[in-house]
Amino acid sequence: MRTGAFLHDLVGSIFDRAGVQADRPPRSLADLCLELISNRDETESLQIAKAVLDTYEAAPDADRLAFFTMLAAEWDLDARAVEELSRQYRRDPSAENFDRLTKSAQSQRARLLRLLIRARDATQRMVGMRNDLLRMSRDHPALGPVDADFVQLFGMWFDRALLEMRPISWDTSAEVLSKIIRYEAVHSIEDWDDLRRRVQPSDRRCFAFFHPTMPNEPIVFVAVALCNGVPGSIQDILSDDRNPQTAEGADTAAFYSISNCLPGLQGIPFGNSLIKQVVVELSAAHPNLKSFVTLSPLPKFAHYVARIGNEAERPLVDTLLEDSARAVETGDLQALTAQAGDLTVLAARYLVEGKRENGQPLDPVARFHLRNGASVDDLHALADTSEKGLQNALNVMVTYRYDTARLEENRQRFLNHGVVARSSRIDALLSPTAPGAQRGRSGRTLRLIFSNKE
């Protein structure tokens, strides 16, 4: 009898610690969060953190929004305390005052997130939580500070030193390969045969980053084509009937797809590190490679072209848009072929001179590569004749060059002065004497045309 009573008490104690006692009413997210932030027992904290995540995932959208709103309004910094402790530290810069100040500069919300992510299998669940937050923030901008704490947390949790780069090949596990198919965001993979053509041939490479808490979940991956010379179209790279060449016969590595896999990690800069590490890896494995470039989309080019309001440019723009729409419907590219010069001139000006209100380039892919230190190397008309390529970019693609000797110089000039590093080919397209430039499209006009908000 005593043994039975002991086991009963032990099991009850375990369930109490896990927060799932049968006669205990369900706790709200707010109560669970308060309990977690005040708990000092390691085992109990992990159980409570799991209960927070379980309760959040079981909640409807309205309750999730209320949770984020609570974090924004009630779990923020105590600005007055920070101000007072800052004054104290200025008067007496002691270690004690410094410690008090730095602790006060961290919101209770940030501490809560750090406790949550320590729970078992919490990483991917919290990435999903941030995905919800990003979606809701579009209509609720007051949630911005909550996202700032998520970004800070993920920036540390997904530090480059913790990530593992792995090659992806046809021998990679089916679980991972199926996710590569699903997550490919630039040039969709139709089926397993299409995937095989991208990872198995001797002149194809693919690499992905993984986090130790999600060993079978690619975070970001890059697809590479080993080529002779810089490819001028995605059709040439993805053609079903192309003849693969040997890796030893290639002189150029072309990064033709970079896909961030998890929307909840938006804004966490993995691609920068991945590209640079792949360059190092390929350089060591294939010393014959002399050039490292991308063949990149212009995902918002057509959007901004359609918004051009200058009367002198409207006839040309309307014609380009009509011909592109017709090409989507009929597959007839003849009209766009004849306007290749106009398209590349307009695209060069869009990339180099089209700016957001903060002075950054309008094009999101350009912002990514230029921050990495790449240069705008060339533009290619009729480079992506898929429906997506025609609708988003009027079939134009851009090559960015990764010149390892100039990456840091380019990067600093871009970050500090907004200078877009570019080749002489791009300068020629920007010249007033470039084909199509005689139609009245001056650089000054372009800056007015492309100063639209996103």
C-alpha span between 21 and 273 (Å, rounded): 47
Identify the three-state secondary structure at position 399. Answer: strand
pLDDT tens, residue order, the chain (454 aa):
343 443 333 333 333 444 444 445 678 899 999 999 999 899 999 999 999 999 999 999 999 999 999 999 999 877 787 788 788 888 888 888 888 877 777 789 999 999 999 999 999 999 999 999 999 999 999 999 999 999 999 999 999 889 999 999 999 999 999 999 999 999 999 999 999 999 999 999 999 999 999 999 999 999 999 999 999 999 999 998 888 989 999 999 999 999 999 999 998 888 778 999 999 999 999 999 999 999 999 999 998 888 876 777 778 788 888 888 888 888 888 888 888 888 999 999 999 999 988 889 999 999 999 999 999 999 999 999 998 999 999 999 999 999 999 999 999 999 999 999 999 999 999 987 665 554 444 344 444 455 555 5
CB 119 within 8 A of CB 50: yes
User: 180 with 219: CB under 8 angstroms?
Assistant: no
Neighbours of 415 (CB within 10 A): 12
Q: Where do the domains of the chain lie? A: 2-157, 161-294, 297-449
| Interior angle at CA 105, CA 102 and CA 109, nearest 5 | 125
Q: Write down the pTM of the prediction.
A: 0.84
161-294 against 297-449: fold identical = yes
Superfamily of domain 2-157: Malonyl-CoA decarboxylase, oligemerization domain (1.20.140.90)
pLDDT at 223: 97
Given this model, what pLDDT does residue 437 score? Answer: 53
Q: How far apart are CA 183 and CA 134, in angstroms?
A: 19
Q: What is the CATH number of domain 297-449?
A: 3.40.630.150
Pick the CATH number of 161-294 from 3.40.50.1010, 3.40.50.460, 3.40.630.180, 3.20.20.220: 3.40.630.180
**Count of C-beta atoms within a 10 Å radius of residue 183:** 18
**Cα–Cα dist 147/145, whole Å:** 5
- Torsion sign, CA atoms 370, 372, 373, 377: negative
Q: What is the pLDDT of residue 163?
A: 94
For residue 88, the model assigns a pLDDT of 85
Widest Cα–Cα separation across the chain = 99
